[in-house]
Amino acid sequence: MWFDIHPDSPIPIFEQIVSQVIFNIASGGLAVGDLIPSVRDLGMRLTVHPNTVAKAFQELERLGVVTARRGRGMEVTPDAPKLCQAERRERISQRIREALREAASSGLPRDELRRLVEEELNYHGNGKRRERQQSD
Amino acid sequence: MWFDIHPDSPIPIFEQIVSQVIFNIASGGLAVGDLIPSVRDLGMRLTVHPNTVAKAFQELERLGVVTARRGRGMEVTPDAPKLCQAERRERISQRIREALREAASSGLPRDELRRLVEEELNYHGNGKRRERQQSD
DNA sequence: CATAGTGTACTATAAGCGTGTGACACTTCG
DNA sequence: CGAAGTGTCACACGCTTATAGTACACTATG
CA B11 to each of CA A98, B15, B67, B71, B123: distance values in angstroms, whole numbers, following the listed order = 12, 7, 25, 31, 24
Contact B16, B5 (CB under 8 A): yes
- How far, in Å, CA of B113 to CA of A125, rounded? 10
In chain D, which nucleotides are within 7 Å of a protein Cβ?
4-11, 16-21, 25-28
Interface with chain A: mutation pick from B27, B93, B111, B123, highest number of A CBs within 10 Å: B93
CA A128 to each of CA A28, A124, A136: distance values in angstroms, whole numbers, following the listed order = 21, 6, 14
* Confidence at B43, pLDDT banded by 50, 70, 90: very high
A-chain residue closest to B15, CA distance: A10
Chain B residues bordering chain A (beta-carbon distance below 8 Å)? 2, 4, 10-12, 15, 19, 23, 26-29, 88-89, 91-93, 95-108, 110, 112-114, 116-117, 120-121, 124-125
Contact B79, B39 (CB under 8 A): no
Instruction: Output residues with Cβ under 7 Å from nucleic strand D.
Output: A 36, 38-41, 50-51, 54, 57-58, 61, 68-74; B 7, 12-15, 47-49, 51-52, 55, 69-72
At B123 the pLDDT is: 75
**What digits encode the pLDDT tens for the residues A17-57?**
999 999 999 999 999 999 999 999 999 999 999 999 999 99
**What digits encode the pLDDT tens for the residues B79-129?**
999 999 999 999 999 999 999 999 999 999 999 999 999 988 887 655 444
The secondary structure of residue B38, as a DSSP letter, is P
Query: What pTM was computed for the model?
Result: 0.90
